[in-house]
Structure 1
Amino acid sequence: MVSIPVAILPSNGKTIPLVGFGTAEFPFNSTGATKGSVLQAIQLGYRHFDTASMYQNEQYLGEAIAEALHLGLIKSRDELFITSKLWTSDSHRELVLPALQNSLKNLRLDYLDLYQIHFPGSLKPGSGFAINEENIVAIDLESVWEAMEECQKLGLTKSIGVSNFSCKKLEKLLASAKIPPAVNQVEINPVWQQKKLRQFCEEKGIHLTAYSPLGAKGVVWGTNRVMDSQVLKEIAIAKGKTVAQISLRWVYEQGVSLVVKSFDRERMKENLEIFDWQLSAEELQKIEQIPQMRGNIIQSFVSEKGPYKSIEEIWAGEI
């Protein structure tokens, strides 16, 4: 079993495993493989498990945690770091606490380690997971964050954070926040390196977690540009590693944590074999020169009737 290094969250001193296990599958919960995969992941050494109400699999992660405790794979729930996220139809002040309570019920847990605003936008209450133009509304970020802060004060989550926030949106949040976001989970990989955001978050004491560290092959919004990168392929051959390992090691060396998803046991194991070697200065320089392109542009929230009328507005020009 691999022992995964941890990072200290600058905002509150708590720790987060530097490699986590993503549970989202597309279409959401399409195979029902979450429970079995999580149990295998725990056996291999994964301790951070990332879910969201949108993924529609919280109950299966909860079942896996309960079974892992029953089987003695872990001695205590406290050995795990569990993240879930507030979906946009619940991104309204009065719905934040009930949404978290529902996630905890699904997960069979008393608390989360991290609860995040999934995206800096809102849908009309009760609209569910369908992103339709008529349902898109502006998020009242200040009041939603106040409700997130209350969740932490109640002990229902140890830390609160955000996901898919640009520098500009983080600045707006920090201007009114009493508790700063501990984590911002965003797309980071060798073809979308997020240098500006990484520097900003380091200055503000916000830890970054990378999603899609291998790109997003097979996902409706993704590309294969990471796994097809000739630069990464050449480095992988020279080092006797896989392209996936080179990408994950690069993300790890940037000082951010990452969430990687595979339900294949051998790949789950391979994704943890990145800690006992490193990339050379020359290899890092080659990766730095890879042309950059965001994979997840979240086009679905662009609407002439809504708050974001272009991709540029969603990402505040960081595209």
Structure 2
Amino acid sequence: MAKILMKGNEAVAKAAIEAGCKYFFGYPITPQNEIPEYMARELPKIGGVFLQAESEVSAINMIYGGAGAGARTMTSSSSPGIALKQEGITYLVGSELPCVVVNMMRGGPGLGGIQPSQADYFMSTRGGGNGDYRTPVFAPASIQEAVDMTMEAFEVADFYRTPVMVVGDGMIGQMMEPVEFNEPTKRDLPAKDWATTGTKGDRKPNIINSLYLDPQELEDHCLKLEKKYAEIEKNEVRYEMYKTEDADLVFVAYGTTSRITKNVIEELRAEGVKAGLIRPQTIWPFPFKAFDEIPNAKELLVVEMSTGQMIEDVQIASAGRWPVSFYGRTGGMIPEPNDIKAKALEVIGGAK
């Protein structure tokens, strides 16, 4: 298939439609507005429905309804909008309803700004709503990955009956790159015999609910979900290892920041510093086992567009085997290659 030059947001929207999404509910917020704009234009052409809700809270509850009827549904927003959706997301998790939630992250806290950020790591990976839960979180570093991961997200959502998030910083949504739309890898998906599609007189009504007033029933339900998360951690980890075979200094970065870091690695290697990169492609489940593949490492350096959130998972992965340092910019500021390089040389003790 020929490649098409597309803006990231529009590519994500097209990928969702290609994956079978016919229902989109959302509310405008920068820097992801091209997603609902594309959906508003294209979904009616295929018999789908676009609906601009009166708020982010309304949108996520409309997703609950569409997903409950067994349809492939998606919503998108940016950081403060995703925060408003967290109550609905935990209801979706508790009711085991599959959907895809896209977050093109911007600076915060609060309304913050409209520039790129990665400061929603905790909100995305820890479960931003109430209760014991996690959601799978894909973190693309290119528009092509955003396309591929959006398509895969729908398969993962239906396979595990869970909401799945795709998170990119605002640059992923706004920049343009050539992409191709290949047929997504299909999974052997379970039948949606739980959906509220009407009984037609053939069965008892399906009831979709996240309320368990009996504490034993709720504990049993939570433990059932925990088994699901264990399966996701076992089977759905994605990561890239870049020049880590002989690396003394191993960066850990995801999304756009990882692309900047790769350029720094090339400069460092030209100066005799053996540097490499672990790039999480899923930030939950986090690729802890990737750190077992860097036997020569002496230092780890986390680079992130935040004040330091992923560093906690890297410290867990390190398990005391290596010192873990951090360099980040926040509030919509983007790390500069020269500054990352200077921090790297400081950490490693100068070029070798």
Is TM > 0.5 for Structure 1 vs Structure 2?
no
Q: TM-score, length-normalised on structure 2?
A: 0.29
Q: TM-score, length-normalised on structure 1?
A: 0.31
